Protein backbone atom coordinates (compact mmCIF):
# COMPACT_ATOMS: atom_id res chain seq x y z
CA UNK A 1 0.00 0.00 0.00
CA UNK A 2 1.18 3.51 -0.80
CA UNK A 3 1.25 6.38 1.66
CA UNK A 4 -1.78 7.80 -0.11
CA UNK A 5 -3.63 4.50 0.33
CA UNK A 6 -2.81 4.43 4.03
CA UNK A 7 -3.93 8.04 4.47
CA UNK A 8 -7.20 7.34 2.67
CA UNK A 9 -7.84 4.27 4.82
CA UNK A 10 -7.10 6.21 8.01
CA UNK A 11 -9.51 8.92 6.91
CA UNK A 12 -12.18 6.29 6.27
CA UNK A 13 -11.73 4.87 9.77
CA UNK A 14 -12.09 8.31 11.31
CA UNK A 15 -15.17 9.10 9.22
CA UNK A 16 -17.00 5.89 10.15
CA UNK A 17 -16.17 6.39 13.84
CA UNK A 18 -17.66 9.86 14.22
CA UNK A 19 -21.38 9.00 13.93
CA UNK A 20 -21.01 6.22 16.50
CA UNK A 21 -19.39 8.63 18.93
CA UNK A 22 -22.25 11.05 18.37
CA UNK A 23 -24.82 8.33 19.01
CA UNK A 24 -23.04 7.21 22.17
CA UNK A 25 -22.81 10.78 23.42
CA UNK A 26 -26.54 11.26 22.85
CA UNK A 27 -27.28 8.13 24.90
CA UNK A 28 -25.03 9.36 27.71
CA UNK A 29 -26.50 12.86 27.80
CA UNK A 30 -30.07 11.57 27.92
CA UNK A 31 -29.36 9.06 30.68
CA UNK A 32 -27.44 11.55 32.82
CA UNK A 33 -30.13 14.18 32.45
CA UNK A 34 -32.73 11.67 33.63
CA UNK A 35 -30.51 10.51 36.48
CA UNK A 36 -29.89 14.08 37.61
CA UNK A 37 -33.62 14.84 37.54
CA UNK A 38 -34.30 11.88 39.83
CA UNK A 39 -31.36 12.83 42.05
CA UNK A 40 -32.85 16.30 42.52
CA UNK A 41 -36.11 14.68 43.61
CA UNK A 42 -34.15 12.60 46.13
CA UNK A 43 -33.12 15.80 47.94
CA UNK A 44 -36.40 16.09 49.83
CA UNK A 45 -37.36 18.14 52.86
CA UNK A 46 -37.34 14.89 54.83
CA UNK A 47 -33.72 14.28 53.85
CA UNK A 48 -32.70 17.84 54.77
CA UNK A 49 -34.39 17.45 58.15
CA UNK A 50 -32.61 14.15 58.83
CA UNK A 51 -29.43 14.45 60.93
CA UNK A 52 -26.32 14.27 58.76
CA UNK A 53 -24.50 10.95 58.91
CA UNK A 54 -25.74 7.38 58.98
CA UNK A 55 -29.41 8.26 59.23
CA UNK A 56 -29.29 10.51 56.17
CA UNK A 57 -27.26 7.88 54.28
CA UNK A 58 -29.93 5.26 55.02
CA UNK A 59 -32.65 7.61 53.86
CA UNK A 60 -30.83 8.11 50.56
CA UNK A 61 -30.34 4.37 50.10
CA UNK A 62 -34.07 3.85 50.60
CA UNK A 63 -35.11 6.72 48.34
CA UNK A 64 -37.11 5.63 45.26
CA UNK A 65 -35.74 8.64 43.38
CA UNK A 66 -32.14 7.67 44.16
CA UNK A 67 -32.83 4.12 43.03
CA UNK A 68 -34.44 5.44 39.85
CA UNK A 69 -31.33 7.56 39.17
CA UNK A 70 -29.12 4.49 39.53
CA UNK A 71 -31.50 2.62 37.25
CA UNK A 72 -30.81 5.11 34.47
CA UNK A 73 -27.06 4.54 34.86
CA UNK A 74 -27.54 0.77 34.73
CA UNK A 75 -29.77 1.06 31.67
CA UNK A 76 -27.17 3.27 29.98
CA UNK A 77 -24.44 0.71 30.44
CA UNK A 78 -26.73 -2.05 29.15
CA UNK A 79 -27.50 0.03 26.07
CA UNK A 80 -23.79 0.49 25.38
CA UNK A 81 -22.37 -3.00 26.00
CA UNK A 82 -25.31 -5.36 26.49
CA UNK A 83 -26.85 -6.81 29.61
CA UNK A 84 -23.96 -9.11 30.52
CA UNK A 85 -20.34 -9.86 29.69
CA UNK A 86 -21.59 -12.63 27.39
CA UNK A 87 -23.93 -10.35 25.47
CA UNK A 88 -23.31 -9.53 21.84
CA UNK A 89 -25.65 -6.53 21.90
CA UNK A 90 -25.24 -2.88 22.77
CA UNK A 91 -24.19 0.20 20.83
CA UNK A 92 -20.45 -0.43 20.99
CA UNK A 93 -20.87 -4.01 19.75
CA UNK A 94 -23.20 -2.76 17.01
CA UNK A 95 -20.44 -0.34 16.02
CA UNK A 96 -17.94 -3.20 15.88
CA UNK A 97 -20.23 -5.13 13.53
CA UNK A 98 -20.54 -2.07 11.29
CA UNK A 99 -16.77 -1.52 11.38
CA UNK A 100 -16.25 -5.14 10.34
CA UNK A 101 -18.55 -4.86 7.33
CA UNK A 102 -16.90 -1.60 6.32
CA UNK A 103 -13.39 -3.00 6.74
CA UNK A 104 -14.08 -5.89 4.39
CA UNK A 105 -14.73 -3.38 1.61
CA UNK A 106 -11.75 -1.24 2.63
CA UNK A 107 -9.26 -4.12 2.67
CA UNK A 108 -10.25 -6.12 -0.42
CA UNK A 109 -8.73 -3.77 -3.03
CA UNK A 110 -5.39 -3.96 -1.23
CA UNK A 111 -5.10 -7.75 -0.85
CA UNK A 112 -4.02 -9.84 -3.81
CA UNK A 113 -6.89 -12.24 -4.63
CA UNK A 114 -4.49 -15.18 -4.52
CA UNK A 115 -4.22 -14.63 -0.76
CA UNK A 116 -7.96 -14.33 -0.12
CA UNK A 117 -9.60 -16.73 2.31
CA UNK A 118 -12.19 -17.56 -0.36
CA UNK A 119 -13.07 -16.81 -3.99
CA UNK A 120 -14.78 -13.52 -3.15
CA UNK A 121 -14.70 -12.87 0.62
CA UNK A 122 -17.61 -10.94 2.07
CA UNK A 123 -18.85 -10.17 5.57
CA UNK A 124 -20.21 -13.24 7.36
CA UNK A 125 -22.33 -13.79 10.44
CA UNK A 126 -19.51 -15.69 12.11
CA UNK A 127 -17.08 -12.86 11.39
CA UNK A 128 -19.51 -10.34 12.82
CA UNK A 129 -19.95 -12.42 15.98
CA UNK A 130 -16.18 -12.56 16.42
CA UNK A 131 -15.97 -8.78 16.28
CA UNK A 132 -18.97 -8.20 18.55
CA UNK A 133 -17.49 -10.39 21.26
CA UNK A 134 -13.86 -9.47 20.71
CA UNK A 135 -11.49 -8.92 23.62
CA UNK A 136 -9.46 -5.75 23.08
CA UNK A 137 -6.48 -4.92 25.31
CA UNK A 138 -7.26 -8.09 27.27
CA UNK A 139 -10.62 -6.85 28.64
CA UNK A 140 -14.22 -7.53 27.71
CA UNK A 141 -16.36 -4.44 27.25
CA UNK A 142 -18.15 -4.81 30.57
CA UNK A 143 -14.89 -4.81 32.48
CA UNK A 144 -13.66 -1.85 30.43
CA UNK A 145 -16.61 0.34 31.29
CA UNK A 146 -17.47 -0.85 34.81
CA UNK A 147 -14.93 1.35 36.66
CA UNK A 148 -16.21 4.56 35.06
CA UNK A 149 -19.82 3.64 35.85
CA UNK A 150 -18.94 2.58 39.40
CA UNK A 151 -17.28 5.94 40.09
CA UNK A 152 -20.25 7.74 38.56
CA UNK A 153 -22.72 5.85 40.77
CA UNK A 154 -20.63 6.33 43.91
CA UNK A 155 -20.23 10.03 43.25
CA UNK A 156 -23.97 10.34 42.73
CA UNK A 157 -24.56 9.15 46.30
CA UNK A 158 -21.97 11.63 47.57
CA UNK A 159 -23.58 14.46 45.61
CA UNK A 160 -27.07 13.71 46.94
CA UNK A 161 -25.69 13.38 50.46
CA UNK A 162 -23.96 16.75 50.26
CA UNK A 163 -26.94 18.43 48.58
CA UNK A 164 -29.18 17.09 51.33
CA UNK A 165 -27.14 18.30 54.28
CA UNK A 166 -28.95 20.53 56.72
CA UNK A 167 -26.54 23.40 56.15
CA UNK A 168 -26.78 23.25 52.35
CA UNK A 169 -28.96 25.85 50.65
CA UNK A 170 -31.18 24.89 47.73
CA UNK A 171 -28.79 26.62 45.36
CA UNK A 172 -25.78 24.80 46.80
CA UNK A 173 -27.65 21.53 46.40
CA UNK A 174 -28.45 22.21 42.75
CA UNK A 175 -24.85 23.29 42.12
CA UNK A 176 -23.54 20.08 43.68
CA UNK A 177 -25.75 17.90 41.49
CA UNK A 178 -24.82 19.96 38.44
CA UNK A 179 -21.15 19.36 39.21
CA UNK A 180 -21.82 15.62 39.48
CA UNK A 181 -23.58 15.70 36.12
CA UNK A 182 -20.76 17.60 34.38
CA UNK A 183 -18.04 15.35 35.79
CA UNK A 184 -20.00 12.20 34.94
CA UNK A 185 -20.60 13.46 31.40
CA UNK A 186 -16.89 14.10 30.81
CA UNK A 187 -15.90 10.77 32.40
CA UNK A 188 -18.35 8.56 30.50
CA UNK A 189 -17.98 10.27 27.14
CA UNK A 190 -14.20 9.95 27.36
CA UNK A 191 -14.34 6.27 28.37
CA UNK A 192 -16.91 5.27 25.76
CA UNK A 193 -15.23 7.29 23.02
CA UNK A 194 -11.93 5.58 23.77
CA UNK A 195 -13.59 2.17 23.64
CA UNK A 196 -15.13 3.00 20.26
CA UNK A 197 -11.79 4.28 18.93
CA UNK A 198 -9.97 1.15 20.12
CA UNK A 199 -12.68 -1.03 18.57
CA UNK A 200 -12.44 0.83 15.27
CA UNK A 201 -8.71 0.14 14.91
CA UNK A 202 -8.71 -3.38 16.35
CA UNK A 203 -11.62 -4.58 14.24
CA UNK A 204 -10.02 -3.14 11.11
CA UNK A 205 -6.74 -4.94 11.75
CA UNK A 206 -8.49 -8.20 12.57
CA UNK A 207 -10.72 -7.99 9.50
CA UNK A 208 -7.68 -7.70 7.27
CA UNK A 209 -6.40 -10.98 8.74
CA UNK A 210 -9.77 -12.70 8.36
CA UNK A 211 -9.70 -11.97 4.64
CA UNK A 212 -6.35 -13.73 4.25
CA UNK A 213 -6.22 -17.51 3.98
CA UNK A 214 -4.75 -19.03 7.19
CA UNK A 215 -1.89 -20.53 5.16
CA UNK A 216 -0.66 -17.01 4.41
CA UNK A 217 -1.23 -15.33 7.74
CA UNK A 218 1.95 -16.61 9.31
CA UNK A 219 3.10 -14.64 12.31
CA UNK A 220 0.43 -11.97 11.78
CA UNK A 221 -2.26 -14.18 13.35
CA UNK A 222 -1.53 -13.79 17.04
CA UNK A 223 -2.53 -11.84 20.10
CA UNK A 224 0.53 -9.60 20.14
CA UNK A 225 0.20 -5.87 20.15
CA UNK A 226 -2.26 -3.48 21.71
CA UNK A 227 -5.69 -4.14 20.34
CA UNK A 228 -4.77 -7.37 18.52
CA UNK A 229 -7.57 -9.90 18.26
CA UNK A 230 -7.12 -13.66 18.19
CA UNK A 231 -8.42 -15.23 14.98
CA UNK A 232 -9.50 -18.85 14.68
CA UNK A 233 -7.63 -21.19 12.38
Rounded CA-CA distance 230/142 in Å is 19
Higher-confidence residue of 139 and 43: namely 43
3-class DSSP state of 117: coil
Per-residue confidence (pLDDT) for residue 183, from 0 to 100: 98
Q: How far is the C-alpha of 203 from the C-alpha of 27, rounded, in Å?
A: 23
Higher pLDDT, 74 or 215: 74
Q: What is the mean pLDDT of residues 130-142?
A: 89
Is residue 216 over pLDDT 90?
A: no
Question: First and final CA of the chain: distance in angstroms?
Answer: 26
Q: Give the pLDDT mean for 119-135.
A: 92
Identify the CA nearest to 5 among candidates 105, 99, 100, 109: 109
Mean pLDDT of 11-17: 97
Residue 219 has pLDDT above 80, yes or no: no
Is residue 223 pLDDT above 50, yes or no?
no
Give the number of C-alpha atoms closer than 13 A to the C-alpha of residue 204, restricted to the C-beta side.
18
Q: What is the percent of the chain where pLDDT is above 90?
A: 83
> How large is the average pLDDT for residues 90-99?
98
CA 30 to chain CA centroid, nearest Å: 15
Integer angstrom CA distances of residue 60 from 37, 97, 156: 15, 41, 11
Q: What's the rounded Cα separation, in Å, for the pair 230 and 55?
A: 52
Contact 187, 148 (CB under 8 A): yes
Torsion of the alpha carbons at 7, 9, 12 and 13, rounded to the nearest 10: -100
CA distances 64 to 38, 60, 76, 118, 213, Å, are 9, 9, 18, 57, 57
**Predicted structure pTM score:** 0.91
pLDDT digits (tens, 9 = 90+) for 55-83: 999 999 999 999 999 999 999 999 999 99
Q: How many CB atoms lie within 10 A of CB 21?
A: 16
For 154-191, the pLDDT digits (tens) are: 999 999 999 999 999 999 999 999 999 999 999 999 99
Residue 86, pLDDT score: 87
Query: What percentage of the chain reaches a pLDDT higher than 70?
Result: 93
d(CA 38, CA 32): 10
pLDDT reported for residue 228 = 56
pLDDT band (50, 70, 90) for residue 137: confident
Q: How far is CA 134 from CA 9, 42, 104, 195, in A?
A: 22, 39, 17, 12
Q: What is the pLDDT, as a whole number, of residue 233?
A: 40
Q: What are phi and psi of 215, to 5 degrees?
A: -65, -20
State residue 104's pLDDT score. Answer: 97
Average pLDDT over residues 202-229: 73
φ, ψ for residue 160, nearest 5 deg? -65, -40
Amino acid sequence: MTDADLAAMEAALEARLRPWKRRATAHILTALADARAHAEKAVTDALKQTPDGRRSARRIDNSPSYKAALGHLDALMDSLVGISKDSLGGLIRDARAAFYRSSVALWKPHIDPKFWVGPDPAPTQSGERIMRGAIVHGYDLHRELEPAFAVTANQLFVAINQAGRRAATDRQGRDRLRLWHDQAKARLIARVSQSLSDSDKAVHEATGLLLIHPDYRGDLDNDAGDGGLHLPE
